[in-house]
Copies of this chain bind each other. A is one copy, B any other.
Amino acid sequence: MAKITHVSPLAPATFPTLPEIKGADFATVEAGIKYAGRKDVMLARLAAGSSIAGVFTRSATRSAAVLDCQEKISLQSDAGAAIIVNAGNANAFTGRNGIEATKAVTGAVAQTLSLPESRVFSSSTGVIGEPLPFEKITNKLSEMREALSPGKMKDAAEAIRTTDTFAKASAAEFEVDGQVVNIAGIAKGSGMIAPDMATMLVYIFTDAKVEQALLQEMLSELTDLTFNNITVDSDTSTSDTLLLGATGASGVEISNREGPFYQALHQVMLDLAHQVVRDGEGATKFVTVNVTGAETAKDARAHALAIANSPLVKTAIAGEDPNWGRVVMAIGKSGASADRDRLTIRFGDILVAENGWVSPNYKEADGASYMKQQDLEISVDLGLGDGDATVWTCDLTHGYITINADYRS
């Protein structure tokens, strides 16, 4: 496996200060599943009365842990809940053995924490196709139970990393009638990342009180605006899992979609989604692709994803080449409606192309200078209707090839 020695140049300058989420405790441990000398398992325990919502990969070859989570996610219970995650082994495409390994882990967590097994959710991330040495996890559960505490969410973010070059977390808070509500989440992921899935591994916690059906509705809706609109390499993982736990311990009840909870949750999810792109394998540029004026929102998303996933667009960005011709190419191949002669293309604020050709005022030197920035914005207006979409991606570099020609994932 390629040794990851550098932190992504796009990483946030500092790790955020995470609030303690009342009702949510964390523990981590060195189980030695694949990596030596680092924590590789995290356990989260959610207090009695917590609601859990989840979104999962749509891969037809999804892992045993994902299938197990999907069976449990909409069951109602006031018994509390737990989330157990290991890095280093995805327990995916491991046949019957994989199902048994998942059951062994979730069953042991249930016993250790005195929870029903239906309230224990698990994820595994890492190599596909190798048996999960689940005893390495179950042997550590008593130790982890003793260590559970609300202040260890940062450790949890560290423990779930695989090829990630930095730990990812985000938090937001708001007040209702003088009562503070906190939301905090962690994520891992930097390759095998594309929309049409839940996404990577993401765990978000809040002390708001939210009924499960409403929590699920908000999570699904916001996933379409955040994690489903990021792409690193157009590849979709077999293990992607996003879980949102609401402990209710703040005493603040959220009973409708509108308002500060939805906004704060959106902020945390978008920040985590951007951090995953910023840790895209080999990434040196963070790119926002805006598409407006498409016939429909679906068309806009198809165009935006065609641009964001095009190897030729992504390599041009890596080369700091303002190659708007490749943007035109990507729009042309997307399969969605476009009229060549109505296209307007901007790099940042620079008008590059309009009316089917390069803009008369565009200077190549302006484009070339703009492309040297680390955060880039490519905006396309189709001139056809009201559909719009925004997608976030990164460039395609030698670093991606180096990581993926060597790393067994």
Contact = CB atoms under 8 A, between A and B. Distances in A.
Interface of A: 57, 59-62, 90, 92-98, 127-129, 191-192, 194, 196-197, 233-238, 309-312, 315-316, 318-319, 321, 323-326, 328-341, 343, 353, 355-358, 396-398, 400-402, 404-406, 408-409
B128 A235 contact: no
B404 A61 contact: no
A334 to B, nearest CB: 8
How many copies of this kind of chain does the complex include? 2
A409 B325 contact: yes
**Which secondary structure dominates where chain A touches chain B?**
loop
Contacts of A310: 234-235
B401 A353 contact: no
A329 B60 contact: no
Contact of A331 (B61, B233, B311, B337): B61
A142 to B, nearest CB: 31
Contacts of A59: 329, 332-333
Given A61-B328, A94-B357, A358-B129, A405 B333 contact: no
B325 A357 contact: no
Contacts of A337: 60
B401 A326 contact: no
Contacts of A234: 234, 309-311
Contact of A235 (B194, B312, B358, B409): B312
